[in-house]
Structure 1
Amino acid sequence: MRKIGLLTRLIIGLTLGIILGYVSKEFLHFDALVRLLATFNGLFGGFLSYVIPLIIIGFVAPGIAELGKGAGKLLGITTLLAYASTVIAGTFAFLVGTGLLPRIVNAVGGQASNPEDALVKGFLQIDMPPIMGVMTALITAFLFGLGMAYIKSKSLYQVTKDFQEIIEKVIQSVIIPLLPLHIAGIFANMTYAGEVAKIMKIFGSVFAIVIISHLLMLLFQYTVAGTVSGRNPFTALKNMVPAYLTAIGTQSSAATIPVTLRSAKKNGISDGVADFAIPLCATIHLSGSTITLTMCAMAVMMMSGTNVSFAMMFPFILMLGVTMVAAPGVPGGAVMAALGLLQSMLGFNEAQLGLMIALYLTQDSFGTACNVTGDGAIALLADKFAKGTATETLQEKFA
């Protein structure tokens, strides 16, 4: 199964879950198999809740430290541009979602609610309380990150990087491989409860809206970058197509950096700025992922009957731009880093987190492609502000 792509495994898990839930309800007339999967889901969900604060500390703290260590004018400009782009993307997603998602939910027969009492319970439940709350983890990560940047502590920075490797290994070796089984359990349970038909219809519509929103956001980014830098936005966007297509295959901004660099330099960006801005944006510029997370979160809340407002979503969008800094360089890294915010700011329960993961990962490749292609637009703007001045790469600043 490891040789099969993650998306394929998720689709297999989703399909088998629906089949198992349908067979258990319509033919077997007992829920033992569904309860067995529900037991696994309870254990996996508890473990995921335990790991969420560790993910935040393991990735946000060293990420902030890295930004601080490379302090400089170009760093500040690039970071500000990337963050502004991320917030604009999230706000755009909210506006699109507000206009379209309620109609989609109503078109498939109203709320596809997923209340806890409608789901089959597991055979047993084991509490796995996290060592700290999500907001405590965020504050701790900011404190350590800024502190390391201020005192320039190489030893403490190395400790946090080692801890980051441990957490990334947990994600790669435990969470990601078990996700298909988790998704199978969620959809088996929802099928047994009679809600899966509505949810699948909503999933398909949301997927299409998200992809179109990605493309519109890229068009906006390159229109602004082209206007400011004096380059043809359509030519610049065309030059970034290899990076877009590579990201669809790798599902990783970090793995796509060599292609993104080559494509960005075709747009006339100076080597120094490109070598600095592209690797930096690969970790801090996530406009595509923000569009997906915002839209998917709104869809999941609307399916559960929650009223979605700008006052609720905008703080979430602002925090996304910070929390996803240095998100794990693995498929689904952005949604893993955002799980804490979904819990603490939007009140997601374990079932909603599972739906969110499933909905996000089905289009993770396209979100990553939007991220890396948008990095070229940020680099264009940074190059204009830097006036072609050669700049050290981020890696050199840490040496």
Structure 2
Amino acid sequence: MKKPGLLLRIVLAILLGIVLGLFLPEAVVRVFVTFNGLFGNFLSFIIPLIIVGLITPAISELGKGAGKWLGITAAIAYGSTIFAGLMAFLVCMLVLPRMLTEGSYDEVSNPEEALLTPYFTVEMPPVFGVMTALLVAFVVGIGLTLLRTDTLHKGFVELRSVVEMVISAVIIPFLPLYVFGIFLNMTRAGQVWDVVTTFAGVILLVFALTLGLLLLQYTVAGAITGRNPLRALRTMLPAYATALGTSSSAATIPVTLRQAVEAGVSRPVASFVVPLCATIHLAGSTTKIVSFSLAVMLLSGIEINVGIFIGFIFMLGITMVAAPGVPGGAIVTAAGLLTSMLGFTEPQVGLMIATYIAIDSFGTATNVTGDGAIAMVVDKLSGKELHREHFVETEEGDLVAVPDEGEPYLQDDDRG
């Protein structure tokens, strides 16, 4: 039998946590609370390494490939991600205060008073902080784009493989158990029903925001390219549906590429833009993280500083580059910013993870569908510059970007 997807496992974990939390004795619940404490500490330890291991090679790779158009595509993708975050911030600031009661879950921010405590804890201090990790990634990544040697770059690519293995083999498999422990503990504390019903409204709002975002993206792309935006969006729907099932931008690349070509994008441009944007364009994921974090802050009575939160959105847009092509990777990567910039506690980060993954596939579907709009824009702006002269065809029939030096540039992994 096929292994249940992450979404199904998360839903089952939430339901079991709510049901079992009603009658399991406190001693048993504290066992899971102890696991959550250990797992949460491990997340705090690994997140800076995730940032360095994933962002550094990603930035270094932005200096290669099709020259200036790689930078232009990255800038468009980053702009789209930031716009999505700012749009979600504006809408949520207008709507959420009318939906939620500010400070109604203030006890969630102080788990020692409202929730059960673990039997024991094991300190796992990170090698360095999140902001230090981001600075290291930026400095080393940019430096690698200026070096002609590939030795250090290959080392960070191997580090990326190790980090992605930890995410896929340890973090993602244990996330359902982590979410189960959170809802089990919340049920014992009498909080879960109000939280679940409250976030149901936020989920509907986020879904509406992602649909509005796609309409805006394709309206802009249609205005630039002179194409019918609704027809182009309809052409990309198979990619949207595929991402709903896989919850992975990387796994959806073949379908996104095919549909982008059907939407009128030249194959060389689509072959260049789609794999790149699958890694760096996460507008849908940013929309969800911004919306849910604002909801948690309102519910917990945390003061929302507009300047700090806008800074959080800009940093989130960069950190999203580190989100690997696995379900739930974006929220795991963003957890460090939630704690360092917004002051989230472990239960609050747990709520973010649970609600985010509950509709993870919709954010991923928004990401990959938006990639088609970016491909349309780059195709129009580049004219013929990216159509043939910057690509060579391999024996297998694949188009490979060629940098200024004239040597084919191949990625070291399956990101494109």
- Could you state the TM-score of these two structures normalised by the residue count of structure 2? 0.91
- Shift, 1:112, TM fit: 6.1
Conserved 8 A contact 1:113-1:303: no
Q: Deviations for 1:308-356, whole angstroms, at most 9, x for unmatched residues?
A: 2421221111111111114211101111211111111111121111111
- Shift, 1:104, TM fit: 2.0
Q: Is structure 2 residue 99 aligned with structure 1 residue 99?
A: no
Structure 2 spans left out of the alignment, 5+ residues: 392-399, 403-407, 412-416
Distance in 2 between the 1:186 and 1:2 partners? 27
The one-letter code matched in structure 1 to 2:77 is: A
- Shift, 1:111, TM fit: 3.5
Of the structure 1 ranges 297-306 and 368-377, higher mean CA displacement relative to structure 2 is found in 297-306
Of the structure 1 ranges 225-234 and 302-311, higher mean CA displacement relative to structure 2 is found in 302-311
Equivalent residue for 2:4? 4
User: What CA RMSD, in Å, does the superposition of the two structures yield over aligned residues?
Assistant: 1.7
- Shift, 1:207, TM fit: 1.2
Mapping of residues 50-65 of structure 1, within 5 Å = 50-65=45-60
Q: Which runs of 4 or more aligned residues in structure 1 lie more than 2 Å from their structure 2 counterparts after TM superposition?
A: 109-113, 307-310, 391-399
Equivalent residue for 1:17? 17
Distance in 2 between the 1:323 and 1:187 partners? 28
Distance in 2 between the 1:41 and 1:70 partners? 43
Equivalent residue for 1:351? 347
- Shift, 1:118, TM fit: 1.1
Mapping of residues 201-350 of structure 1, within 5 Å = 201-350=197-346
Conserved 8 A contact 1:240-1:263: yes
Of the structure 1 ranges 361-370 and 346-355, higher mean CA displacement relative to structure 2 is found in 346-355
Equivalent residue for 1:39? 34
Distance in 2 between the 1:195 and 1:388 partners? 59
Equivalent residue for 2:104? 110
Equivalent residue for 2:180? 184
Equivalent residue for 1:124? 120
Of the structure 1 ranges 183-192 and 109-118, higher mean CA displacement relative to structure 2 is found in 109-118
Q: Deviations for 1:130-169, whole angstroms, at most 9, x for unmatched residues?
A: 1111111111111121111111331111111111111111
Conserved 8 A contact 1:279-1:394: no
- Shift, 1:368, TM fit: 0.5
Equivalent residue for 1:27? none
Q: Deviations for 1:87-123, whole angstroms, at most 9, x for unmatched residues?
A: 110001001111222222229x934641222110111
Equivalent residue for 2:141? 145
Conserved 8 A contact 1:113-1:305: no
The one-letter code matched in structure 2 to 1:13 is: A
Mapping of residues 377-392 of structure 1, within 5 Å = 377-389=373-385, 390=387, 391-392=390-391
- Shift, 1:394, TM fit: 5.1
Equivalent residue for 2:74? 79
Distance in 2 between the 1:370 and 1:265 partners? 18
Distance in 1 between the 2:172 and 2:342 partners? 23
Conserved 8 A contact 2:269-2:378: yes
Distance in 1 between the 2:120 and 2:284 partners? 39
